[in-house]
Amino acid sequence: MKELAKTYDPSEIEDRTYAKWMGRKYFHPDVDRSKKPFTIVMPPPNITGKLHMGHALDNTLQDILIRYKRMQGYNALWIPGTDHASISTEVKVINKLKEEGIDKNDLGREGFLKRTWEWREEYGRTIVDQLKKIGSSCDWDRERFTMDEGCSEAVLEVFTRLYEKGYIYKGSRIINWCPVCQTSISDAEVEHEEQAGHFWHINYPIADGSGYVEIATTRPETLLGDTAVAVNPDDERYTNLVGKMLKLPLTDREIPVVADPYVDKEFGTGCVKITPAHDPNDFEVGRRHNLPEINIMNDDATINCPGSKYDGMDRYEARKAMVADLEAQGLLVKVEEHVHNVGTHDRCGTTVEPMIKQQWFVKMEEMAKPAIEAIKNGDLTFVPERFDKTYLHWLENIRDWCISRQLWWGHRIPAYYCDECGETVVSKTAPTVCPKCGCTHLTQDPDTLDTWFSSALWPFSTLGWPKNTEELDYFYPTDVLVTGYDIIFFWVIRMVFSGYEQTGKCPFHHVLIHGLVRDSLGRKMSKSLGNGIDPLEIIDKYGADALRLTLVTGNAPGNDMRFYMERVEASRNFANKVWNASRFIMMNMEKAEIPDEIDLSTLTAADKWILSKVNSLAKEITANMDNFDLGIAVQKIYDFIWEEFCDWYIEMVKPRLWNDEDETKGAALWTLKNVLINALKMLHPYMPFITEEIFCNLSDEESIMISSWPEYKEEWNFEAEENAIETIKEAVRGIRTVRTSMNVPNSKKATVYVVSENARIREIFEHGKVFFAALGFASEVIVQADKTGIADDAVSALLPEAAIYMPLQELVDIEKEKERLHKEEKRLEGELNRVNGMLNNEKFVSRAPEAKIQEERAKLEKYTQMMSQVKERLAQLGE
């Protein structure tokens, strides 16, 4: 048997171990019909990204599940990959070109794409290498990219299918527009942040001169695009206004008053300006009332209103000018402070402009139906279940999906326009002739598809769809999707409806939702706050296992967690504990012959107790992991290894290992080895590197990750022995409490009497004398039925059916202890006089800071309690 290094050094172990796993193809499962498959597809990180704590958590959870299922005998496949990230990648490349003095447009589309592919080859694999550092056991042989040949074919197939079905169309609707990046963006790329703003109350004159209608708006510049004012049809205040015309301020136009239930009559004035081209809700109102749609903004967020003084002004410059003009005309009623949510582009931070534009859209109403039914019939389950409501709410209120982007990097829309007659042809390959007029000159649509369009196909495109591959048939549908709650709407839902539409199946059975990793103050980690923590720096200092354990300990599905460096250090300490305990066991393995199999009847009560404990643990942990309670499971493993195994059992068996005459040494070593191996196996999904290193030095098997998961064995269930050892542990805890209260050092041994009228209890302590004496710091253990022969001054600890006694004379030198206690009594009298003097001083109490007063009151409470304990001890000693 090999010997472990004296100290645990993750930097020496981790890269070497990962290379071994990769070299032996442990992560790569072939299709094997004799095994049940278990599949996870990795949410593809952006090629522009670097590993952050969110990635580390997300991939650690996936790795735990895949390692667990692999050990259970499943043919476990975890498919990795990366996303082309249209906007962020294009921005990165544009900025790099600027550094070289090159403009994107000077290169032209083909030249720019060539440079982008070069950038991807140089920088796009950074995050993949970083994912390996945390131990991700993905099948890297099957790594995919959203713009690789297969995924691109899937995108073209889906687009053409949906177009032919009438689900994809080109039309004018409200989209999110980024004036800086000059493209439409998805809801997923809009971050809502609270900003201080205003409510401008403006009077719109009634055209017949009978008065005014007061509206309130947060964006007065959009007034130029108003085409109506709406009121609630049930609002009696405005019934007589419906159908009347209003003079639109700052213009020469008139607009009608319409009645629509969209208006909340309790909010604001109950009158709402309707700007169909610049607000999604107004757009729907406008369609219901056949209102004109007037886009008053250019792509760069300047005003587009020819003939107006505001034409060409920046949107915020125009706002100031218009408010000033309204005030000058007496139409500005008042301005109120108002905090509201403002959408910003997550890539550049620019305030997004809702704008009507001609774009490509996907009709969502029909495709949403099977996705809704999936959650209702149980085909899809969320963990935790509360996210069902979020999922259903979004689907039941879904709008058509804008899928076109004004970018060059991405999947180009496969739509071609005839230069002669304008006919639109959608085709996976470029058509050579117009089917309508025969013209041979066709131009492809310049736009690319929303990145989410390709990632919506990820669970099946990664397995070869639209080809009917063997992998697709065997590994699909996948089993679990692990993702954060922040993208549940945008990605999860799109994968579900795409899966049903293209394959007829839900793409995964379960969605495990995790929260965000926040800093120690509970703040979201961000560049602006400068509070991000680099996972790779943690790995360099503490090891990947310590990082992984920290991320999962205390983690509950759907809940955010706080990241503390103290917890990382605690995780590293646990790794050291496991290492040192394993090293101790292995160093003692030569002390007796260890059989492969053992007659369980030859085990001692302590052996049976720990064996029964690890057996029950396997049952509990399996149930926890099957229910995705990964944080609960690892806490149980942690507690078992640290407390039950290391702090109790190893200490129990030391006297047997060190006694050359003890004939149970072989049983102790067999138990130590088997319990450690089972504990390591349960710990492996969480801490793969350290468990592999120990296991491969302890066992004849080649790797822990392809060993079998521990299963509950009825023959390892020793309830009586468990109860017996728990009784002894309770006695030991009682002894330690008494000794601690009397400041008795561990080196000071004393006779321990166990008194019980219950013969079963006495038998337990008789059989456990060897380790009970060691754990209870006893010079001798005497078990008897009554108090005969026990000194009156003996101190005691009580158990339910027994009492433990220790002669006081053997624990302390009574005269020295009295002297020490009198000194402590005098010291405490001085402290109490000082504190009481301060707190009874009216000047101090009236002038001192509240924190200082509270500090002194806490001291008073502490010293009073200490004095009470000293007097109690003196009374015990006859003073």
Binding-site residues for ATP, in ranges, read: 527
DSSP-assigned letter for residue 36: -
- What does the alpha-carbon distance between residue 340 and residue 343 come to, in Å, rounded to a whole number? 10
- What does the alpha-carbon distance between residue 359 and residue 381 come to, in Å, rounded to a whole number? 34
Query: Token digits for 871?
Result: 């007097």
What element of type H or E holds 862?
A: helix 850-876
Query: Token digits for 460?
Result: 């099946």
Which residues fall in the annotated binding site?
527
- What does the alpha-carbon distance between residue 486 and residue 543 come to, in Å, rounded to a whole number? 28
Helices (H), 342-478: 365-377, 387-396, 451-455, 458-461, 470-475
- What does the alpha-carbon distance between residue 487 and residue 473 come to, in Å, rounded to a whole number? 28
First to last CA, the chain: 60
Q: Is-contact 690 553, C-beta < 8 A? A: no
Q: Is-contact 183 405, C-beta < 8 A? A: yes
Q: Is-contact 342 348, C-beta < 8 A? A: no
Place of tokens 């009481």: 836
Q: Strand pairing partners for 795?
A: 806
Query: Token digits for 352?
Result: 């997004």
Q: Strand pairing partners for 145?
A: 82
Q: At CB < 8 A and 24+ separation, what contacts does 416-420 make?
A: 416/442, 416/443, 416/444, 416/445, 417/442, 417/443, 417/444, 417/445, 418/442, 419/443
What element of type H or E holds 797?
A: strand 795-799
Give the residue among 173, 413, 160 at the shortest CA–CA distance from 282.
173
Read off φ and ψ for residue 705, nearest 5 degrees: -75, -15
Establish how many alpha carbons lie within 13 A of residue 553's alpha carbon, considering only the half-sphere containing its beta carbon. Answer: 23
- What does the alpha-carbon distance between residue 74 and residue 38 come to, in Å, rounded to a whole number? 6
Query: Token digits for 345?
Result: 């582009």
DSSP-assigned letter for residue 289: T
